[in-house]
Structure 1
Amino acid sequence: MEKYIQELMQDAPELITTYGLKVILAIAVYIVGKWVATLIVKVLLKGMNARKVDPTIAGFVKNIVYYVILVMVVIAALGQLGVQTASFVAIIGAAGLAIGFALQGALSNFASGVLLIAFRPFKVGDFVEAGGAAGVIKELSIFSTIMTTGDNKTIIIANSSITGGNIVNYSTQAERRVDLTVGVSYGADLSLVRKELETLAAADERVIQDKGITIGVVALADSSVNFVYRVWVKTADYWGVYFDMNERIKKRFDEVGIEIPFPQMNVHVNQVKS
């Protein structure tokens, strides 16, 4: 034992010189590399803020870049210690591939979330149809989107379901067109129908008169002559005008004697003489 200690003491200066220098270099590589990673991340974050990139994306990109650089720094530091990093890199790659396969659904939602945040097809407060549901957007996160329906139900939709289909945003435009179909009997005076519909549109302050009013016969149906009735309103007034106009049409037509028909069937009975 004493002989082993003596040999170790004799070799100590050489060991310290050889391995001590490697340890110092490895520590230096790690410290400098970490400083460089922090500096790069700060510059990157400053650039994204200057371009007004969404804070959610900016924070995520910052973390990804920082940890990727940090992993490279650790591998470089291990290389200074004489560790065979080739196998280490291969293990990391294989692990990353396995994790990618296991989390492909989550990664798909994440990628879709990044696209939604980057391109902003809708924002919080918009009323949209997306992912098989319709409602007001309450929250947009990396993996899912939360909306509330008209009857106050909360719907959580995976982002991949949203980007995989059509997105209808009813809130992006300041104005919307109200489309109504008005059916009258075949015996009605069509000129009077047109006049009354024009009067109703002119009397409603919410209707944008400058955009024009469309009134025309769209179909000669089985039981009625159908008019298409289109007026433009502010988006916020859409449903109010839609419901009110239907009610006013019914009341006005009753006052002036314009019949709104319902489906009818005429049955002809022929008597056969024996």
Structure 2
Amino acid sequence: MERTYDQVLSFATIYGGRILLAILTLVVGLWLIGWIVKVLSSMLTKRHVDRDVQPFLLSLVNGVLRVLLLLSIASTLGVQTTSFVAIVGAAGLAVGLALQGSLANFAGGVLILTFKPFRVGDLVVAQGFTGNVEAVRIFDTTLVTLDNKTIILPNGPLSTSAITNISTRGVIRVDQVYGVGSQNDIDATRASIVKVVAACPFALKDREHDVLIAKLTPNSREYDVRVWTKSENYWDTYYYMLENIARQFGKDGIEAPKPKMFITNED
């Protein structure tokens, strides 16, 4: 019994302080982690970070802090953590390499959901596709094209490439080019186009629309027609202008370009 008592006393003398310190570190560390997660959650809510991203970010921060806390406690108890850290790092590297594509899509999804370069319902041009955003998920984004096709884009490439968001400003300019023959009167041609612009139900009345000569050739003139409209009416405006300018040109006798041949006599 005396021998056992001496061993217990020796163990308590050597490790008692470390154990008490480890328990204190555990209690304070868990409280501090809870406080940090709570503050982070409040910050994410105030900054309107997407609700689909918040649980993941909070869980990630909570998990990383708990692992660091356990390593700190193990170090306090005298456990060598160098090998453990190396094993965890190697395992993390192996998993990261195996899931490289998925992790890239995941990271891209977090960026998109956090910074919101587009929202559900926006009309965008991305990765060569034009369509309305139907859903933004953590790994991919779904577009519905104008011909009602569903396009699923991985978030990794999407987050690192150029995206044209047609809906962001709420107002967009529809640019078109019309070519007519040089035999047509300039003022008459412009007046014909202006009639269609004025009658377009989608053209904004508080904006100035442009009808400009953009290019001259020996047998034709090209007119830049720029019409302002609401973002959601882009394609309605586009096709309205095409059809009705063709009709108006026919009514006003505005003719298409006619090829000309120049013959020179070398004699």
- Bucket of the pairwise TM-score, normalised by the shorter protein: 0.7 to 0.9
- 1:159 to 2:155 alignment: yes
* 1:24 positional shift: 7.4
Alignment of 1:1-274 (within 5 A): 13=5, 18=11, 29-79=25-75, 82-221=78-217, 224-261=220-257, 264=259
Amino acid at match of 2:90: A
Under a length normalisation based on structure 2, what TM-score does the superposition of the two structures give?
0.82
User: Structure 2 vs 1, CA of residues 205 and 131 (structure 1 numbering), >3 Å: closer, same or farther?
Assistant: closer
Distance 1:41 1:243, change over 3 A: same
Cα distance in 2 between the residues matched to 1:28 and 1:222: 90
Percent sequence identity is 38
**1:16-71 Cα distance to aligned partner (Å, 9 max, x none):** 66379577775665455334322321222123223333333332221111111211
SS at match of 2:62: helix
SS of the equivalent of 1:84 reads: coil
Q: CA RMSD in A?
A: 3.0
How many residues align structurally?
Answer: 260
Computing the radius of gyration from Cα coordinates, the structure with the larger value is 1
Q: Which runs of 5+ in 1 are unaligned?
A: 1-8
- Larger displacement relative to structure 2 (121-130 or 251-260): 251-260
**Cα distance, 1:165 vs structure 2:** 2.0
Structure 1 letter corresponding to 2:171:
E
1:129 match: secondary structure: strand
CA contact (8 A) 2:200 2:240 kept: no
Rounded to whole Å, the distance in 2 between the matches of 1:225 and 1:12 is 107
Q: Which structure 2 residue ranges, 5 or more long, are not aligned? A: none
CA change 1:24–1:179 in 2 (3 A) is same
